[in-house]
Amino acid sequence: MPRVAPITGKSDVPTEHQAVVESVVNVFGGVRGPFSMLLHSPKLAERMLSLVTFFRARRNGLREDVIDLIRAKGDPGKLPAEERDIVAYTRQLMRTNRVDQSLFDALQKRFGTQWLVEMTAAVNYYALLCGVVNAFEVAAPPDGDKLPA
């Protein structure tokens, strides 16, 4: 049970913020997950929503087998070098809040500074959503992706 009542629809917010709820529904098909909490701050939810389409992994070409490997906390050793480095970068950043200089340099050389900034922002965007879900104890939707404990 969430620590605060989730926002589930337009009737849960004042009239002046109902357009934000409608935008969330248009993107996700309903209000659930972190946005059920973020909508307690409609201006924040609106800004976060603008990042959703920018950072969606599947829409940006991330292969399903890579998503499955990450979901299972698998060994990226069999991935091509560039994907292996991206997984390593993400894991280092999330586990230690740091990234080895050699890995940083390799990704910057391969993809450029703009890409690296966007990649780092995407990783931290998902971390922010995880933090909201965990802090407010929002249950995963029954039809959502299953992740290992």
| Per-residue pLDDT of the chain in tens (149 residues, 90 and over written 9) | 899 999 999 999 999 999 999 999 999 999 999 999 999 999 999 999 988 877 776 666 778 888 888 888 899 998 999 899 999 999 999 999 999 999 999 999 999 999 999 999 999 999 999 999 999 999 987 777 766 65
Residues 2, 45 within the same domain: yes
Residue 135 lies in a domain: yes
Task: Show the domain range for 39.
Answer: 1-55+131-142
- pLDDT given for residue 56 in this prediction: 74
Number of domains in the chain: 2
Residues 68, 107 within the same domain: yes
- pLDDT given for residue 67 in this prediction: 81
- pLDDT given for residue 147 in this prediction: 64
- pLDDT given for residue 78 in this prediction: 86
Residues 103, 135 within the same domain: no
Report the C-alpha gap between 93 and 107 in whole angstroms.
Answer: 14
- pLDDT given for residue 148 in this prediction: 62
Residue 149 lies in a domain: no
- pLDDT given for residue 144 in this prediction: 73
Residues 70, 90 within the same domain: yes
- Put simply, whether the predicted model's pTM sits higher than 0.95 gets the answer no
